[in-house]
Amino acid sequence: MLERVYDTLIAILYYELPKDRYGKVTIYDRPVTAWYVGERDVKNNNLSVTLKGASSNLKDIGLGLQEFTHSITFEINAGADNIAMTERLVQETSRMILASLRKHRRIWVVDYCPICSKFTLSPEHFIEEHNDILATYVTGVIADYNSLWAETHPASIPPAELPRSAKATEAFLRMYEDVRNNVAVTGLSITAKKNILKMQSDFVEPIRILYDCLANTTASSDDAVGQALFRNGNITFQAKELVKQDSYGPDNVPITAIQK
Ligand SMILES: [Zn+2]
């Protein structure tokens, strides 16, 4: 559910925060030595970030549409050799993570690319790196968009240009559906096709978008007394996600489906 969201948030922070020569995110002179997914009993006591406490509330918002409200907690753990340094470290790490997250009110969540297995942060990847497969789909997307535009605008107003990420998303999803419907896709390898079919049988949403993303609560230190050399900061991050619902039941189960 939120596994790819975790991966995406860690990737955004890793990309944006300053790094040392070994490629580790560094706050003051301390490297972030671990990015944990899920809470731990034991953590290294230098500087680490844990993504945890996820929940996803789902509600109906219209016919065929449901909306998730995801909630994730970032816990920052810092332990230095004196209390003041521990406090400064946890404060500064919380500030920097918050500064990075605040820039992302909308976030693409892109699953592993079924063609080259890269984990990317933007659907533009598909037309940057796989244009040989997707170029004809992009042409179709632009043509359909222009004809829709012409239905509601006078010819004197030319169509606004679609963002590259939107073109890439629509082109990729058309190709993805062609594979589902057994339509031949020129240039798509057998492995990539198998990967897409596996994603479909696993109900994977290959490209998602989170909106209304907000780090809405920050406790940049827990002010602990008993463990003052190991302090925690907490940031709660919320995001919404709209999902299609195109099947309702009760008659959408085949009569051949039986209990195993
Ligand atoms: Zn790729």
- Give the residue from 103, 100, 101, 65 showing the smallest Cα distance to 241: 65
Residues with CB under 5 A from ligand 1 (ion): 113, 115-116, 118, 129
Chain centroid to CA 242: 13
| Ligand 1 centroid, distance to 179 Cα (angstroms) | 16
| Ligand 1 centroid, distance to 115 Cα (angstroms) | 5
| Ligand 1 centroid, distance to 189 Cα (angstroms) | 12
pTM, 2 dp: 0.92
pLDDT digits (tens, 9 = 90+) for 223-260: 878 888 889 999 999 999 999 998 888 999 988 988 88
pLDDT digits (tens, 9 = 90+) for 90-114: 999 999 999 999 999 999 999 999 9
Cα distance between residue 180 and residue 174, in whole Å:
10
- Give the end-to-end CA distance of the chain in Å, rounded to a whole number: 26
Contact 86, 229 (CB under 8 A): yes
Domains and CATH numbers, the chain: 3-109+208-244 (3.30.2000.30), 112-204 (no CATH)
| Ligand 1 centroid, distance to 124 Cα (angstroms) | 10
